[in-house]
Structure 1
Amino acid sequence: MTQASLYIGLMSGTSTDGVDAVLADFAASDRPAILGSISLPMPRALREEFLALNMPGPNELERAALAGNALAELYAQATLAMLESAGVKPAQVRAIGAHGQTVRHNPAAGYTIQINSPALLAQRTGIAVIADFRSRDVAARGQGAPLVPAFHHAIFSDTQPRAVLNLGGIANVTLLDAENGIRGFDTGPANVLLDLWVHAKTGHTYDADGAWAATGQYSPELLEYLVGSEPWFALAPPKSTGRDLFNWQWLTQRLEQFGARAAGDQDIQATLQRLTAHTVAQAIAGQAPDTCEVIVCGGGALNKGLMRDLQSLLQAHVRPSSDLGVPVQLVEALAFAWLAWAHDHGHAAGLPAVTGAGQVTVLGCKYPA
């Protein structure tokens, strides 16, 4: 391994539950070997601040700057602990790919905001940082999301039509087949509504294994209402979304509108789980009906109830990315190591077929150590 081949990927996703870090070696090709990884929980106060910054509030500029610094410190802590565990020195690493925390996403208005402090991260680690991955695609009139289809193509391509499904806070799918090339888009909520509801009703931050949902029954009528009342679901790709749309207000407003017909708390959880599976299945059936296999990654891949719902609704074999050698919770962090590698090598990862941009683009901006 050489300094030219080692990259780190850092990811804190829509669920805001923690930071994942991966150390990868790209010596052989653009298919990396994982040399180390670590996950750190998001401090409660920082998580609450990020969630608050998803909505308009007082003194946003200062609060966002301080939150970015706090995230960079957490990123640095994860990076240095992982390197020490792997026996690798910072000087041996070419660059860190750091996504930051998305708090606003409105590409139709020409912007997307990821809170981060890459210069501080470079200072704390002594490693160059590549960040700001979305804005170049948005400048080219793209969605700026999803970012990972080019990476999915690099490591998960197969001779048969295959989809790669990431179940973070938001669900996004990459469609891989030789005839139509690389396509990808967000399908709607994955864990974001599930986590909001279970936390409000039980105090738990997530529904482990879908156990709480399993004590209820999903309501076909409520599911139909949730899908039919949201025009975003009917939009054709390219499209992307986030907490700007799918949030507590979205959920409670629809439950109130559904009125006396609403089910019990566990039934609502089961219905939200079914909503994720249903919108994913509808998206894949509509855009890639010949898909033979769906590779699932992200925290939602650990939800056994959600995985059962997906298998029952998808006309394809469903299995976790760990079956292909990439742990489900490390795929996104590994993607940002790959995106850093792609930036350094001038490889265009911003794809018009995915984001709707007017041209292919090299993504990211580099902050030297």
Structure 2
Amino acid sequence: MTGMRTAIGLMSGTSLDGIDVALLRTDGESIVERGPSLGRSYESAFRRRLQGALETAKVIKDRTERPGDLREIDRELTLRHAEAVRTLLAENDLKPADIDVIGFHGQTVLHRPNDALTVQLGDGGLLADETGIDVVYDMRANDMVHGGQGAPLIPAYHAALAAGLSQARRGAVVFVNIGGISNLTFIGSGGERIVAFDSGPGNTLIDQWVEAHAGIPYDQGGMIASEGRVNADLAGRYLGHAFFTDPVRRSLDRNDFRPPEGKEASLEDGARTLAHVTAAAILRSARHLPERPKLYVVCGGGRLNRVIMDDLASLAQVEEAEVVAAEAVDLNGDSMEAEAWAYLAVRSLRGLPLTFPGTTGVKAPVTGGLLRKSGMAG
């Protein structure tokens, strides 16, 4: 028994833009064989409902609560994930019996690590019944029970990927995921040490800004930002936030940083300033790492914003570091998080740790996740 399993990972991030699906063959340790992947965008009406869910969820005190229409959204979200799984299977001539497990993240609507409270919409049992595949879900909660921040969880997968990078042999590598919130995973020289934490606002501020002022969900490729200038006072307000100097790293909720008021900048200057803030926040947070990185590998939607990437490259160059998109080192920057949830599901099945003291602040390495067996299994 090699421990190899075929897993599908599902990720719906803080950008609220859709579902990423990826297939992986892995032992949950060092062997990673990446398979096909796809993305499914949410229609605008459902995206607006998810945005409303963030507001509704603010009153939650117990993670099982589903006030207002959250229970209905919970079901609708799960059914969309099930359809995304069916699409991946159909496009690759696969059957449910070919898949050992689904790693299901769900949609985070509330994350308050100081209160040991994290809430993800998504019904693992319904997903298992709809797909005919066993599901591992709710992978953050056990970490918080044991004193962790509940995020980030992906570093275990980043470490497995870093072991295959030739650049990793020359010095420390940082994986940067620029989603709604940006986060860093540091793999030290030789691969022995892993440190990870949220680094600041990613796309969420830009997305909210352009949606409010241009009626579009995001700044495609940084086109709007490329027409503007950085407002130094506005940028300084964000970058002066205590989060960046606090020696205690913590995970972020998308409400920890709010977009500017409408009159503080033009559409273009606001987008340009917030793109700069996204890039600069990554480097400011990197000051808390134990070793200066030589390479930043960028994944997530933010890597497609050329203004963010140019700013990040310029700032890193000062520190003699290189910035590359995931594709430059033969990885997939769109599917990496979904791949990670597949990898973590296999680790969960094997009882292996998902989180570590250097990633979430948990007291000792701890596994996590709940397993829901499919009623159709076997």
Task: Return the TM-score normalized by structure 1.
Answer: 0.92
Q: How does 1:118-133 map to 2 (within 5 A)?
A: 118-133=124-139
Per-residue CA deviations over 1:45-68 (Å, capped at 9, x if unaligned) read: 322222112124799525111111
Partner residue of 2:184?
Answer: 173
2:5 matches 1:8:
no
Q: Which runs of 4+ in 1 moved over 4 A?
A: 57-60
2:247 matches 1:239:
no
Per-residue CA deviations over 1:344-364 (Å, capped at 9, x if unaligned) read: 122102111111111211121
Per-residue CA deviations over 1:21-80 (Å, capped at 9, x if unaligned) read: 011122696432222212111132322222112124799525111111111111111101
2:101 matches 1:95:
yes
2:314 to 291, 312, 315: 312
> What secondary structure is seen at the aligned counterpart in 2 of 1:236?
coil
Q: CA RMSD in A?
A: 2.1
Per-residue CA deviations over 1:262-291 (Å, capped at 9, x if unaligned) read: 443211211111001111011113424521
Aligned residues: 358
- Please give the alpha-carbon distance, in whole angstroms, between the structure 1 residues aligned to 2:239 and 2:201: 11
Partner residue of 1:193?
Answer: 205
1:280 to 249, 259, 282: 282
* 1:3/1:182 CA distance change after superposition, 3 Å: closer
Per-residue CA deviations over 1:84-141 (Å, capped at 9, x if unaligned) read: 1111110111100010000000111111000111100000000000000100000011
Task: Return the TM-score normalized by structure 2.
Answer: 0.90
2:90 matches 1:84:
yes
**Contact kept? 1:10, 1:96, Cα under 8 Å:** yes
2:79 matches 1:73:
yes
Counterpart code for 1:301: R
Partner residue of 1:355?
Answer: 360
Displacement of 1:148:
0.6
**Contact kept? 1:3, 1:93, Cα under 8 Å:** no
- Please give the alpha-carbon distance, in whole angstroms, between the structure 1 residues aligned to 2:71 and 2:56: 15
Per-residue CA deviations over 1:321-368 (Å, capped at 9, x if unaligned) read: 122222111000000000011111221021111111112111211000
**Contact kept? 1:104, 1:114, Cα under 8 Å:** yes
1:104 to 94, 104, 110: 110
Q: How does 1:1-369 map to 2 (within 5 A)?
A: 5-26=5-26, 30-56=30-56, 60-157=66-163, 158-159=168-169, 160-178=171-189, 181-228=193-240, 230-246=241-257, 250-252=258-260, 255=261, 262-314=264-316, 315=319, 316-369=321-374
5+ residue gaps in structure 1?
A: none
- Please give the alpha-carbon distance, in whole angstroms, between the structure 2 residues aligned to 1:335 and 1:75: 16
- Please give the alpha-carbon distance, in whole angstroms, between the structure 2 residues aligned to 1:184 and 1:357: 12
Percent identity between the two aligned chains: 32
> What secondary structure is seen at the aligned counterpart in 2 of 1:33?
strand
